[in-house]
Amino acid sequence: MLPSTPTLPEPSAHHSGGPHNAPIITRKTLLPFVLITALFFLWAIPNNLNDVLIRQFMKSFAMTRLQAGLVQFAFYLGYFFLALPAGFIMRRFGYKSGFLIGLSFFTLGAFLFWPAAVANSYTFFLAALFIIASGCSFLETASNPFIVQLGDPRSAARRLNLAQAFNPLGSITGVLIGTIFIFSGIHLSATQIAAQKAAHTYLAYLHSETLRVADPYLVLSAFTLALLILIAITRFPHDLTTTHDEPEEHGSIASLLQKPHFVLAVLAQFAYVGAQVGTWSYFIPYVVSYTPEHNKAAGYLLTMSLVGFGVGRFFSAWVMRYVRPSLLMGIYCIANTLLAAMGAFLPGWIGVWSLLLSSFFMSLMYPTIFAQGIRGLGKNAKIGGSILVMSIVGGALIPLLMGYIADASGSQALAYLVPLAAYLLIGAYSFGDWRTMRSSNA
């Protein structure tokens, strides 16, 4: 099972004050805190570079949207298959082992982009992405509980929120890196393509576009290697070199299946991650298809969307002081259902701005669904948390469905009916959970 995921109390409609004078970090824990917080920034970069890769591979390998969607499929399979092994290893050898193994996988996978580009092999790229995601799975599994335990328990929530604030910055950085260094800005007309094919230079041009993805990943590989070395030589607090799990009852999956709110949370999390990944993955092709803009401009628009996601995270955290999280999430689902509908049925600038704005309303969904799902699980909280983490496999499957719909219908816009359906499901879960909690507190 995964190490215990930090479970924070659900915010209520009334703000509960706390000992805000408790220090977030101390001089002794400052360096470990800085190094592990850097990981929150780090793993967001490849997650959002994937959105650029999809468009670039559609161009350089001349492939369909469905084929390009295998980028996300390979990536999220790495998360799915390595989450539980990561948990087992860290239960035995401690958090630091998770950081070092994760960064080793990450460094190797990023480096393999260079031979993949030279070989001009899409399959090679997918294998490299799987290895990167395997590393990210270790890093994410270890980082949250480590940060929670790295100091005064009274300041755990503030400490974790501070570390998590760097994740959207990594997302923005990833898209900017891809937009600036991967997209060439060269767009050949049909006449130019025909001329290059006649001169037998078109394949060389496509290969040159593929090679553009190698340099950013080589730099990323060097950065992760340096961070790996720093963490390896850094002395962590002695009581955090292992997870110190106490003997406990582990619970059972069978008893979890008897808790409707948990089962629905797993489905909602699957739908949410799929909707988020699908929306961002096909945003650049959507902009290129329905506006006069090309890849670079579309990449900058996606960056704006990710900024909205970060702003939404902070804004929602403030609003949750006064509004129950499940109710707020239900309201956000209504907003995103309408925005996805405009993206599907009003392709063009109205659709672009609607999908861009939807990131703001996505921002609270993952942590809120997670917290609501493990509420009241008791001895089953760890295994329940593990299953909720694994439900992010929706990010592998839903983008493929969107790519299939886009290819079969000939409409990139209609593919956004899939996120629309996801928000309807999440909204039903949210309002149902809100009514349940209101009744129990009556």
Condensed to tens digits (0 to 9), the pLDDT of residues 332-371 reads 999 999 999 999 999 999 999 999 999 999 988 887 887 7
What pLDDT shows up at residue 86?
Answer: 81
Q: pLDDT of 26-66, one tens digit each?
A: 888 889 999 999 999 999 999 989 989 988 999 999 888 88
Work out the mean pLDDT of the chain and round it to a whole number.
Answer: 85
Give residue 388's pLDDT.
79
Its pTM surpasses 0.75: yes
Spatial distance between the Cα atoms of 362 and 19, rounded to a whole number of angstroms: 30
Q: CATH topology of 27-242 equal to that of 251-442?
A: yes
SS (H, E, C) the chain: CCCCCCCCCCCCCCCCCCCCCCCCCCCCCHHHHHHHHHHHHHHHHHHHHHHHHHHHHHHHCCCCHHHHCHHHHHHHHHHHHHHHHHHHHHHHHCHHHHHHHHHHHHHHHHHCHHHHHHHCCHHHHHHHHHHHHHHHHHHHHHHHHHHHHCCCHHHHHHHHHHHHCHHHHHHHHHHHHHHHHHCCCCCCCHHHHHHHHHCCCHHHHHHHHHHCCHHHHHHHHHHHHHHHHHHHHCCCCHHHCCCCCCCCCCCCHHHHCCCHHHHHHHHHHHHHHHHHHHHHHCHHHHHHHHCCCCHHHHHHHHHHHHHHHHHHHHHHHHHCCCCCHHHHHHHHHHHHHHHHHHHHHCCCHHHHHHHHHHHHHHCCHHHHHHHHHCCCCHHHHHHHHHHHHHHHHHHHHHHHHHHHHHHHHCCCHHHHHHHHHHHHHHHHHHHHHHHHHHHHHC
- Report pLDDT for 376: 73
Distance CA 216, CA 404 (A): 29
* pLDDT tens per residue across span 97-117: 989 999 999 999 999 999 999
Q: How confident is the model at residue 381 (pLDDT cuts 50, 70, 90)?
A: low
For range 223-239, the mean pLDDT: 90
What mean pLDDT is predicted for residues 214-235?
A: 96
User: 323 pLDDT band (50/70/90 cuts)?
Assistant: confident
pLDDT at 406: 93
| Three-point CA angle 216, 219, 225, nearest 5° | 140
Least-confidence region, from 117-126, 130-139, 252-261, 375-384: 375-384
What's the pLDDT at 173? 94
Residue 9 is predicted with a pLDDT of 41
More confident: 168 or 212: 212
Residues 70-81 pLDDT 10s: 998 999 898 888
Note the pLDDT of residue 244. Answer: 47
Instruction: Give residue 391's pLDDT.
Output: 86
For the chain, give every domain's residue range.
Answer: 27-242, 251-442
pLDDT at 288 over 80: yes
pLDDT of residue 248: 45
27-242 CATH, one of 3.40.50.1980, 1.10.645.10, 1.25.40.10, 1.20.1250.20: 1.20.1250.20
Q: What is the pLDDT of residues 412-423, one digit of tens each?
A: 999 999 999 999
Q: How confident is the model at residue 136 (pLDDT cuts 50, 70, 90)?
A: very high
In tens, the pLDDT along 271-282 reads 999 999 999 999
pLDDT of 442: 53
Q: Would the pLDDT of 222 be above 50?
A: yes
Higher pLDDT, 15 or 121: 121
More confident residue, 287 or 363: 287
Least confident of 42-51, 152-161, 315-324: 152-161
Determine the pLDDT at residue 417. Answer: 97
Instruction: Say which residue, 157 or 225, is predicted with more confidence.
Output: 225
- Give percent of the chain with pLDDT exceeding 70: 87
pLDDT for position 108 = 98
pLDDT of residue 26: 82
Taking 70 as the threshold, does the pLDDT of residue 294 lie above it? yes
Query: Residue 15 above 60 pLDDT?
Result: no
Q: Which pLDDT score, from 0 to 100, does residue 382 have?
A: 60
Written as six digits, the tokens of 287 are 């902009």
CATH 1.10.1040.10 matches 251-442: no
User: Quick one: pLDDT at residue 235?
Assistant: 87
Assess whether pLDDT exceeds 60 at residue 408: yes
Q: Between residues 59 and 161, which one has the greater pLDDT?
A: 59
Alpha carbon separation from 232 to 35, 255, 304, 357, 406 (Å, rounded):
11, 40, 36, 41, 46
**For residue 2, what pLDDT is reported?**
38
What CA–CA distance (Å, rounded) separates 322 from 264? 25
